[in-house]
Amino acid sequence: MATSSLSGNFSLLRHSETQSRSLLLLGGSSVKLFRSKHEASTCHGARVAAAVPRASAPEVAVVEKGREKVRVLKLGLICGGPSAERGISLNSARSVLDHLQGDDLHVSCYYIDCNLNAFAISSAQVYSNTPADFDFKLESLAQSFQTLSDLAKHLATAVDIVFPVIHGQFGEDGGIQELLEKYNVPFVGTGSKECCQAFDKHKASLELRKHGFITVPSFLVQGYETDKSELSEWFKKHQLDPDLGKVVVKPTRGGSSIGVGVAYGVNDSLVKANEIMSEGIDKKVLIEIFLEGGNEFTAIVLDVGSDLDSFPVVLLPTEVELQFRGANDVKENDAIFNYRRKYLPTQQVAYHTPPRFPLDVIENIRKGASLLFQRLCLQDFARIDGWFLPNSSSKLSPFSQSEFGRTESGAIIFTDINMISGMEQTSFLFQQASKVGFSHTNILRSIIHHACLRFPNLASVSGISGQLPSRSKSLQRNKSFSRREGTRKVFVIFGGNTSERQVSLMSGTNVWLNLLAFHDLEVTPCLLSPTSECASSIDMGKKADDVMNRTVWSLPYSLVLRHTTEEVLDACMEAIEPEHAAITSELRKKVMNDLMEGLKDHNWFTGFDIADDLPVKFSLRQWIKLAKEVQATVFIAVHGGIGEDGTLQSLLDAEGVPYTGPGAMASKICMDKVATSVALKHLANSGVLTINKDVRQKDDLSNKPINDTWHDLTRKLQCQTLCVKPAKDGCSTGVARLCCPEDLAIYVKALEDCLLRIPPNCLSKAHGMIEMPNPPPEHLIFEPFIETDEIIVTSKFEDATGHGLTWKGHSRWVEITVGVIGKRGSMHSLSPSVTVKESGDILSLEEKFQGGTGINLTPPPLSIMSENALKRCKQHIELIANTLQLEGFSRIDAFVNVDSGEVLIIEVNTVPGMTPSTVLIHQALVEQPPLYPHQFFRKLLDLASERSM
């Protein structure tokens, strides 16, 4: 294999592609080239020369910048890995790509699959939603390495430094680090030996105890033959009921959420431990006391030291609050901060940065995490999780004699050390960094640059005067709104009242962050505030005066990076509340001063680039008037409600404000699924079919006998099973398959009780969690459930064609989702994605919008759909788009016949999901030439401006 060609073929973006991006410099500066021996790092910052010099240093890459020749730092980004967190690893890699690539820093991408096979991949593949999206295509799309050693040898000559973003096993346990150390490849983060110790929760706990930290009492289970009597004695020792005592069961060498659960009593604990081992998550399991009444927190640690000294600074910690929304929520007795709560934006969890703890506790968390970072010899950055137990709730008698962790207010216990923190766009790393003045780009480049200091040929840099400009502007009432010469104002609006408001926040945040890449744009993120009364969907948008009085918040950078719209709103209220704002400001200044104490010695750091701005409150009327005054283009990311039913579009039209997406009339028709079917019914002879529908009022469903309603529906629709969905809401909530009258009764009861979710497998056929609309819809649509054959995608086996994809193809129909883009009357169909349901018969909220889950095959594999059928399918999709007078962009969901290309329409979304893992991103990257996310969103913005002209 010719490694020299690999680097060229798999660079993230060609130079021509990067010209449209902003010039993102490493902390505002460039990297000069100095060559000397490779150095290895030892604990406490001592640096010694490695015994073996670095193999064949990569060829120098230089670009012209004015009169100065600037060294291009070549970064190798490695993601994937064997753990169940490899999907989250892809999310992190996407985010790093979004914010690192620039004229002075080029990124090459590498992927390690679940079997530890290594590949050089294109950046387009990194934007796939999950490993399953492309694992089965790696042979044809990626360059494989025969062994991991071959990968390491390649990296030694192709890149300057490696940034591992593999979460869990092989990424945080020292595996990838040991490989890179063996071949003298510089990398970001902690060394292999230290990773191995800190990653193993049992070893780390012993080490923490040795250094005087309070630790949680635990029992180690090794193998299936654990002595039950020993565990019973452990329960009694810690005053736990052997039959019902509540404990946490977790793998010793897993991440902070995969495989973590709650057990009750000795027998249940052993059952849960054996499940973890039998599922292959880990061979050793920890059983720990459940910290009742405790408050969980997490803290990012950033090393800003230099020379021989480590100087870790802990940013503002975040409190993790599990939430239950009153009697309407399904409360879990074993509620913990699990994988779903961590990565899916539901209202089951809220974050508070800084925590709502006493000030002495916050200070001691920062002090303890810093000390722990040094004692465990960590490097560059880490995330440290723990618990604060108020005096009133803690039972610390078994371990209260420890030195560190006791405060006047309660006890601080550190429980998990994450050597590679999650780096999704709104992750703890970016939330906490933005609170103290770092943009995404600035914090990532600061981490990388600090790592470069350990290697002489990368350590020297030249400073550039001035600091990174923040291009995210918060609107201030008392400031001039005149546009800077050569720039265009953009307002990105998201949020709203509907059940899709959390996905809207994800979409708007993604759009905003991608548009920040362009220096000719001034981009302001804006929240359409959810109202406390949560008016029903039938009332929303009906009275113009009421709508115009809705609240819009202009947001500063740090307030956008939240989990839910409610969190953003709470953060806005806290930011303008004098007492809370004063406390936060004081804590922020303290952290920034600590950071500057170390950063002042680094000439590459030119300052923080996020201002401590305040949010500004407008009525929707004032906000639209302002958009008109400053000639802003509005990027609509409000899913459902007034953002998608034509209301917001009509209001903007009235003031002549350009906006993205279809016009008011097309939006109104598409929001009404029945009206959409009526508008397309005449196309039946042209290959576009519609599904019969029956609309029922929610109150009628409650007032009539369930059996009568069921038989009436199945008779009218001539089917045995039904699909139910809100009539005028989006596609992600309240959609379920009903197979019998009992299923209908459960669904109607959930509506009556205003449940926020129907737990998995409550209906007669297996299904995942069903997120319900809040508030419940007034009208529901029933239609025949369309049967399709199961598609299975796996990397664990291959079919006769050599790919891990199987499809029986009996029905000849598959479900697709496809984006359309362009001007009215000439819409262009992107390549459809075949949607694969991993659990149940309806795509779950996770599979649609949560990064790291869900499978979308883009483009449809030839083994499922021929090129001719695909061509006809796209023609039918364009016919639908043009008939409905769509423009800008939209997404069409449908079933397609893989032989004829006939399309059976499901629905049209005029404000489709624009999250980092959305299929629209995949489809744009399949275009020739590929449209990367920042280019794609810019194109949508330009289409809006062209329409207004």
What are the b/e assignments for 919-947, b being 16+ CB within 10 Å? bbbbbbbeeeebbbbbbbbbbbbebbeeb
723 and 637 together in one domain: no
Residue 563 lies in a domain: yes
> How many structural domains does the chain have?
5
Q: What is the distance between the alpha carbons of residues 323 and 339, in angstroms, rounded to a whole number?
A: 15
Q: At 588, which helix (H) or strand (E)?
A: helix 578-599
Residue 666 lies in a domain: no
Residue 479 lies in a domain: no
794 and 751 together in one domain: no
At 520, which CATH number?
3.40.50.20
Residue percentage of the chain with pLDDT more than 90: 59
Residue 213 lies in a domain: yes
Residue 587 has pLDDT above 90, yes or no: yes
Interval 247-302: pLDDT, tens:
999 999 875 567 788 899 999 999 999 999 988 888 899 999 988 888 999 999 99
730: confidence class by pLDDT, cuts 50, 70, 90: low
- Residue whose structure tokens are 């770092």: 438
pLDDT of residue 525: 98
10: confidence class by pLDDT, cuts 50, 70, 90: very low
Residue 197 has pLDDT above 90, yes or no: yes
Q: Write the CA distances from 857 to 7, 142, 593, 851, 912, integer angstroms.
A: 27, 16, 49, 15, 18
Residue ending a domain, among 723, 756, 784, is: 784
pLDDT of residue 31: 29
As a whole number, mean pLDDT of residues 42-69 equals 45
13 or 626, which is more confident? 626
pLDDT of residue 440: 96
Average pLDDT, the chain: 83
pLDDT of residue 87: 83
Minimal CA–CA distance to 424: which of 76, 98, 135? 98
Q: Could you tell me the two tokens for 467?
A: 């600091």
173 and 260 together in one domain: no
200: confidence class by pLDDT, cuts 50, 70, 90: very high
pLDDT of residue 484: 56
pLDDT of residue 382: 97
Residue 39 lies in a domain: no
Residue 793 has pLDDT above 80, yes or no: no
What's the half-sphere exposure (Cβ side, CA atoms, 13 Å) at 460? 7
179 and 223 together in one domain: no
Range of the domain at 868: 673-689+789-910
Q: Where are the alpha helices (DSSP H) in 127-264?
A: 131-134, 138-141, 148-158, 175-182, 192-199, 201-210, 228-237
pLDDT of residue 810: 83
User: Phi-psi bin for 156: left (phi > 0), alpha (psi -120 to 50), beta?
Assistant: alpha
pLDDT of residue 836: 80
Residue 490 has pLDDT above 80, yes or no: yes
Residue 778 has pLDDT above 50, yes or no: yes
Residue 470 has pLDDT above 60, yes or no: no
803 and 767 together in one domain: no
Highest mean pLDDT among 39-53, 604-618, 888-902: 888-902
685 and 637 together in one domain: no
pLDDT of residue 22: 31
pTM score of the predicted model: 0.85
Residue 481 lies in a domain: no
Minimal CA–CA distance to 173: which of 116, 94, 109, 212? 116
Interval 837-873: pLDDT, tens:
654 454 444 444 444 445 778 889 888 999 999 999 9
Interval 314-323: pLDDT, tens:
999 999 987 6
At 835, which CATH number?
3.30.470.20
pLDDT of residue 486: 74
38: confidence class by pLDDT, cuts 50, 70, 90: very low
Residue 1 lies in a domain: no
700 and 681 together in one domain: no
Interval 763-772: pLDDT, tens:
998 887 888 8
Contact predicate 36/458, CB 8 Å: no
599 and 724 together in one domain: no
Beta-carbon contacts of 479 under 8 Å, excluding residues fewer than 6 positions away, are none
Contact predicate 185/156, CB 8 Å: yes
369 and 235 together in one domain: yes
**Looking at 367-371, 661-665, 758-762, which range is the least confident one?**
758-762
833: confidence class by pLDDT, cuts 50, 70, 90: very high
Contact predicate 832/818, CB 8 Å: yes
Residue 591 lies in a domain: yes
Residue 57 has pLDDT above 80, yes or no: no
Interval 449-469: pLDDT, tens:
999 999 988 866 433 333 344
661: confidence class by pLDDT, cuts 50, 70, 90: very high
Residue ending a domain, among 734, 752, 784, is: 784
183 and 248 together in one domain: no
Q: What is the distance between the alpha carbons of residues 765 and 763, in angstroms, rounded to a whole number?
A: 6
403 or 438, which is more confident? 438
766 and 835 together in one domain: no
207 and 286 together in one domain: yes
pLDDT of residue 66: 52
